[in-house]
Amino acid sequence: MMVLIYLITFVYKLFGNRIYALKGVFEVMEYRYWLKTTFSIQRILPNRKKTLHFLIAEFDSNPLRKRIMEFGVAFGETTNFFIDNLQCEFEYHGFDSFEGLPKNWRGMPKGAIDACGVTPDIRKSGIFFYPGLIESTLTDSLLDDIFAQSCTQTLIFFDFDLYRPTLFALQRIQPFLKAEDIIYFDQAFDCNERLVIENYVTDVLNVKPLQASIFGLAFKVIERKVHV
């Protein structure tokens, strides 16, 4: 037992923070295999920007009224990307504590990606931000208000990084999801986020994989599964 502890300590001292990079390399390789065997996805996009352009093209092609919900806004880069590139009219709802990560994640310390509690300085009609922990902000009454117009197509954009807030948000909005909605997971390569996908997306909904990148994965909802 002492030999094992010594070996683990030696490896950690030798590689330091690089161990997270090594873990990431193997995880991405495993993720590629998972995409191929689970969803028959062979070709993936090389970066996040191309993935966002793909999502926008897919979203713009549908004539339904649009709604975007982003879970994990940070400094608003993705929000601005939608504003600058989407041709259709849409309403946007962004959720974040704006105070950084609530715990350590993949080598990043608690508090990383901190916007000091300040929402992005975006002044445009139809753009709404909800600062605070998702467990407090994503209430029943807010969801009823957001989904009041049933004729709308929704893009759900998950970028929380962490398992628990991602799962919480997904479970809360799951009853409102319908055909043609798009769900995107920005950290699908992460083994914990894959658990969310396997247990709470593909197990509950019939979905069509749309596109994957080296880190993210998008689905279109076909219908809800009927469990006997």
Number of separate domains in the chain: 1
Determine, yes or no, domain membership for 2: no
120: closest CA among 76, 61, 153? 76
Residues 96-121: what's their mean pLDDT? 86
Determine, yes or no, domain membership for 157: yes
* Residue at 52: amino acid letter: L
Domain that holds residue 144: 42-224
Determine, yes or no, domain membership for 13: no
What CATH number should be reported for the domain holding residue 87?
3.40.50.150
Single pTM value for the model? 0.86
**Per-residue model confidence as pLDDT tens digits over 202-218:** 999 999 999 999 999 99
Output 226 or 68, whichever has higher pLDDT: 68
pLDDT of residue 42: 87
Determine, yes or no, domain membership for 98: yes
Q: Are 59 and 92 in contact (CB under 8 A)?
A: no
**Per-residue model confidence as pLDDT tens digits over 134-193:** 999 999 999 999 999 877 899 999 999 899 999 999 999 999 999 999 999 999 999 899
Residues 121-132: what's their mean pLDDT? 93
pLDDT of residue 4: 45
Determine, yes or no, domain membership for 212: yes
pLDDT of residue 17: 52
pLDDT band at 228 (very low <50, low <70, confident <90, very high): low
Determine, yes or no, domain membership for 125: yes
Determine, yes or no, domain membership for 96: yes
Determine, yes or no, domain membership for 55: yes
pLDDT band at 33 (very low <50, low <70, confident <90, very high): very high
182: closest CA among 106, 46, 72, 70? 70
